[in-house]
Structure 1
C-alpha cells in the first residue's frame, strides 16, 4: 500500500473499533473476522492502535536458521504497529499460549519505538517492565508478563517476514493464521484484528471499508429501536436488510 493510501485508510479506521472491523470482515468472507485471541492490554494509552504491521520473528536457540545481528527496534517505519511472535514450535493453542517464560519485549524497546512514532507494540508472548510502558503511555499488548530477557532462550531470525500464529478456534482443532508485513492492524481493549492486505485486492479492501460505517449506523438504529421497546431480532433484520 502506498504511503498516501496507508495514511487515508489508517485515519479512517481510527474512528472504529476492532468489533466494527470484524463485522465487515465476516461479511466479506473471513469467518473469524480477522481476530487474534488472548492478547491483553498491558499499558495505559489512547485507543485504538491502528497501523501497518512491522513484523519480528524469534526462534529457539537450536533453530537451524542463523540469528540476525542487527536490531529490529531501530528500523521501525513511521506509524506502524510492531508485531512480535515466535516460531510455531514455541506456541500453544491454550493458556498460557507460549512455551517461553522469558519476556520477549521490554521498556527500553517501547522507549525507542515511541521515539520513532510507532503506533503500538503487540507481542504474541510475554513482556516485562510493565511500569515503564505505563509511564511512557505507549500502547502495548501481550499474552502475559515475565521478568527475564529473551536472549538466554531465543534468537531473532526474521524482520518483516510472515508470522504464523497458532489459534484454537474450535474444540480439539488447532488452526493457523498469518500476519504479513503491511497488513492493517486494529486493536483496543476488545482485542486485535488484522485486515489481510496481502490476501485481498484493492476493490475488496474498499468494499470492506465501505461496509464498516453502514453497519455501525444500522446497529445504532437497532439500539434506538430496542430502547423504544421493539424486539431485537426484528429490528436487526430490518436495519441490516439493505447492507
Structure 2
C-alpha cells in the first residue's frame, strides 16, 4: 500500500460499497462497518465530504477510571494523515473535543 500521505487519494476512487466488499473478502467483520458513526464536521451529515485514512483511536473514560499509561497528551501523538476516531461514554454530558 502507498504512504500515509496518499492513502486518502488512493481510496477516493472507490465507493463505500467497493471498500466494504474488499474488507469482507479480507475477513473483516461486517465489511468494516462501524455502526452509529456520523460525521460532525464541517456540518453534521451534510454535503459530499468524505474522509479516509488510517484510524487513530481515542477512548475517553469516566473520571475515576484507572489512568492511562501514555506519557504525553494523545493529541500530541497523532500521526499526520490519520483520522481520529473518538469513543466516549454514551451518557457523557459534555463535548469530548472541540
TM-score scaled to structure 2, two decimals? 0.70
Q: Which has the higher strand share?
A: 1
Q: Give me the CA root mean square deviation.
A: 2.8
Count of equivalent residues: 94
The 5-angstrom pairing of residues 77-226 of structure 1 reads 77-86=79-88, 90=89, 98-106=90-98
What is the match of residue 6 of structure 1? 4
Q: Do the aligned partners of residues 73 and 66 (structure 1) sit closer, same or farther apart at CA in structure 2, a change above 3 Å counting?
A: closer
In structure 1, list runs of 5 or more residues that go unmatched.
91-97, 107-243
Of structures 1 and 2, the larger Rg is shown by 1
What's the CA shift for 1:82? 1.1
What residue number does 2:23 align with? 25
**Aligned structure 1 segments of 4 or more residues deviating by more than 4 angstroms:** 66-69
Structure 1, residues 67-119: CA drift from partner, whole Å, max 9, x if none? 76743323432211112224xxx3xxxxxxx122221111xxxxxxxxxxxxx
Structure 1 residue 21, shift from structure 2 partner: 0.6
In the alignment, what sits opposite 1:239?
none
- Structure (1/2) with the larger helix percentage: 1
1:60 maps onto 2:62 in alignment: yes
- Alpha-carbon distance, 1:55 to partner: 2.3
More relative contact order, 1 or 2 (CA 8 Å, 6+ apart): 2
Superposition deviation, residue 49 in structure 1: 0.4
Structure 2, unaligned runs of 5 or more:
none
Match of 1:49 in 2: 51
Displacement, 1:34? 0.3
TM superposition score normalised by structure 1: 0.33
Distance 1:62 1:34, change over 3 A: same
Q: Secondary structure of 1:103's match?
A: coil
Once residues 27 and 38 of structure 1 are traced to their aligned partners in structure 2, the CA distance between those partners, rounded to angstroms, is 23
